[in-house]
Amino acid sequence: MGTIQLKMLKLLLLFTFTEICAAQNDITLSVFTVTSKSMTVQWSGYTGASSYKITATPKSSPEQPVFAQFSGNSVMGSVNSLSPNTVYTMQLEAMDNALKVLSSAETEETTAPEVPSIEQAYSKNSDSITVEFTEVSGATSYILRAQSETGDFFSETVVSGSPGTVEQLQPYRDYRLSVMSVNSGGRSQPSYPIEARTVVVAPKLNTESPNNSTILVTWNPVRNAVLYMLCIIREGSSSRFKLNTTDTTVTFDGLEGGTTYCIKGTAWDSEGRAGDDLTVCQITRPPSTDVTHVQLSQGRSLWVTVYWVSVQGAENYIAWSSNGQNCTSTANSFCYITSVECGQNNSVTVVAYNKAGPSSPSQPVDYVTYPCPPENIWVEEPEAGNCSVVWDEVPLVEYYIAFIKRDDGTEKSCNTTETTCPFSCMCGYTYLTTVFPYNQAGSSPYAHVRNYTTIPCCPQDVSITLVSTETLEIMWSSVKGAELYETTAAQTNDVVHCNDTAPVCALSDLTCNTAYSVTVTPCSELRGCNRTCTPHTHETAPCAPDILNMTQTNNSTYRVLFSTPNSPNTDYTIKATGRYETHTCQSRNNSCELTQLPCGSTFEVMAVAMTTVGRSLPGFSKTLETGPCCPMSVNVTQVTQAMTNVTWSPGSGARSYITTLKSSRGHAKCHTLDTHCLMGCITCGTNYSIHLEAISSTGHMSECKYRGFSSSACCPMRVKLKRMANNNSLRVYWRSLGSQTLNHTVELYGTGANYTCISAAGSKYCDILEEMCGDVYTVLVAPVGQDGVIVSFCQRRTYSVPCPESNAGMMISRGRRSVD
CB-based burial, 56-88: b 16+ in 10 Å, e otherwise: bbbeeeeeeebeeebebeeeebbbeebbbbbbb
In this prediction, residue 731 carries a pLDDT of 87
Could you give the 3-state DSSP secondary structure of residue 17?
helix
What phi, psi does 464 have (nearest 5°)?
Answer: -120, 130
Please answer whether residues 199 and 121 qualify as being in contact, where contact means their C-beta atoms are separated by less than 8 angstroms.
no
Can you tell me the distance from the alpha carbon of 24 to that of 49, in angstroms, rounded to the nearest whole number? 12
Please answer whether residues 141 and 163 qualify as being in contact, where contact means their C-beta atoms are separated by less than 8 angstroms.
no
What phi, psi does 4 have (nearest 5°)?
Answer: -65, -45
> For residue 654, is it left (φ>0), alpha (ψ between -120 and 50) or beta?
beta
Can you tell me the distance from the alpha carbon of 137 to that of 149, in angstroms, rounded to the nearest whole number? 31
Q: Which of 253, 415, 287 is nearest to 358 (CA)?
A: 287
pLDDT tens figures, 639-683: 888 888 999 999 888 899 999 999 888 888 999 999 999 988 888
Please answer whether residues 353 and 316 qualify as being in contact, where contact means their C-beta atoms are separated by less than 8 angstroms.
yes
Can you tell me the distance from the alpha carbon of 799 to that of 814, in angstroms, rounded to the nearest whole number? 8
CA dihedral 647, 648, 652, 654 (to 10 degrees): -40
Can you tell me the distance from the alpha carbon of 121 to that of 133, in angstroms, rounded to the nearest whole number? 9
Please tell me the total number of residues recorded for the chain in this structure: 820
CA dihedral 755, 761, 764, 770 (to 10 degrees): -20
In this prediction, residue 21 carries a pLDDT of 35
- Cis amide prior to 163 (ω within 30 degrees): yes
Please answer whether residues 187 and 159 qualify as being in contact, where contact means their C-beta atoms are separated by less than 8 angstroms.
no
CB atoms within 10 A of CB 709: 19
- What is the DSSP track for 282-302? EEPPPPP--EEEEEEEESSSE
329 Cβ neighbours under 8 A, 6+ residues apart: 316, 317, 319, 335
Can you tell me the distance from the alpha carbon of 544 to that of 468, in angstroms, rounded to the nearest whole number? 13
- What is the DSSP track for 654-700? -SEEEEEEEETTEEEEEEESSSEEEE--PPTT-EEEEEEEEE-TTS-
Please answer whether residues 102 and 119 qualify as being in contact, where contact means their C-beta atoms are separated by less than 8 angstroms.
no
Please answer whether residues 773 and 752 qualify as being in contact, where contact means their C-beta atoms are separated by less than 8 angstroms.
no
Could you give the 3-state DSSP secondary structure of residue 82?
coil
Please answer whether residues 166 and 143 qualify as being in contact, where contact means their C-beta atoms are separated by less than 8 angstroms.
no
What phi, psi does 17 have (nearest 5°)?
Answer: -65, -40
What is the rounded end-to-end Cα distance, in angstroms, of the chain? Answer: 167
In this prediction, residue 788 carries a pLDDT of 67
Cα three-residue angle 503-508-510, rounded to 5 degrees: 130
- CA 299 to each of CA 340, 445, 446: distance values in angstroms, whole numbers, following the listed order: 12, 8, 10
What's the pTM?
A: 0.46
CB-based burial, 37-52: b 16+ in 10 Å, e otherwise: bbbbbebeebeebbbb
What phi, psi does 325 have (nearest 5°)?
Answer: -80, 155
Q: Which of 366, 371, 373, 256 is nearest to 306 (CA)?
A: 366
In this prediction, residue 565 carries a pLDDT of 93
In this prediction, residue 300 carries a pLDDT of 67
Can you tell me the distance from the alpha carbon of 265 to that of 207, in angstroms, rounded to the nearest whole number? 12
Please answer whether residues 154 and 176 qualify as being in contact, where contact means their C-beta atoms are separated by less than 8 angstroms.
no
Please answer whether residues 666 and 687 qualify as being in contact, where contact means their C-beta atoms are separated by less than 8 angstroms.
no
Can you tell me the distance from the alpha carbon of 782 to that of 223, in angstroms, rounded to the nearest whole number? 178
Q: HEC string of 584-602? A: EEEECCCEEEECCCCCCCE
Q: Which of 757, 781, 759, 784 is nearest to 768 (CA)?
A: 757
DSSP letter (8 states) at residue 25: H
Q: What is the CA radius of gyration of the chain?
A: 80
Can you tell me the distance from the alpha carbon of 738 to that of 782, in angstroms, rounded to the nearest whole number? 13
- What is the DSSP track for 522-560? EEETTTEE-TTPPPEEEEPPPPPP-EEEEEE-SSS-EEE
Please answer whether residues 29 and 52 qualify as being in contact, where contact means their C-beta atoms are separated by less than 8 angstroms.
no
479 Cβ neighbours under 8 A, 6+ residues apart: 428, 456, 457, 458, 459, 522
Single-letter code of the amino acid located at 275: G
Can you tell me the distance from the alpha carbon of 394 to that of 50, in angstroms, rounded to the nearest whole number? 127
Bridge partners for 671 per DSSP: 658
In this prediction, residue 805 carries a pLDDT of 62
Can you tell me the distance from the alpha carbon of 164 to that of 133, in angstroms, rounded to the nearest whole number? 8
Q: Which of 200, 256, 253, 254 is nearest to 223 (CA)?
A: 200
Please answer whether residues 257 and 250 qualify as being in contact, where contact means their C-beta atoms are separated by less than 8 angstroms.
no
Cα three-residue angle 169-173-178, rounded to 5 degrees: 70
Bridge partners for 155 per DSSP: 146
Cα three-residue angle 590-591-596, rounded to 5 degrees: 165
Taking the chain (820 residues) in consecutive chunks of 10 residues, what is each chunk's mean pLDDT? 44 38 64 90 89 89 87 90 88 89 90 92 93 92 92 92 93 93 90 93 94 94 94 88 92 92 94 92 93 81 87 92 90 87 88 92 89 91 89 91 92 92 89 91 84 88 89 91 88 78 89 90 86 89 93 86 92 92 92 90 93 90 89 89 90 90 88 91 85 88 87 84 79 79 83 84 83 82 75 79 57 33
Can you tell me the distance from the alpha carbon of 430 to that of 438, in angstroms, rounded to the nearest whole number? 27
Helix, strand and coil in the chain, % to nearest 5: 5, 50, 45
Can you tell me the distance from the alpha carbon of 49 to that of 94, in angstroms, rounded to the nearest whole number? 6
Instruction: Give the pairing of strands 174-182 and 471-475.
Output: unpaired
- CA 11 to each of CA 3, 17, 663, 717: distance values in angstroms, whole numbers, following the listed order: 13, 10, 171, 176
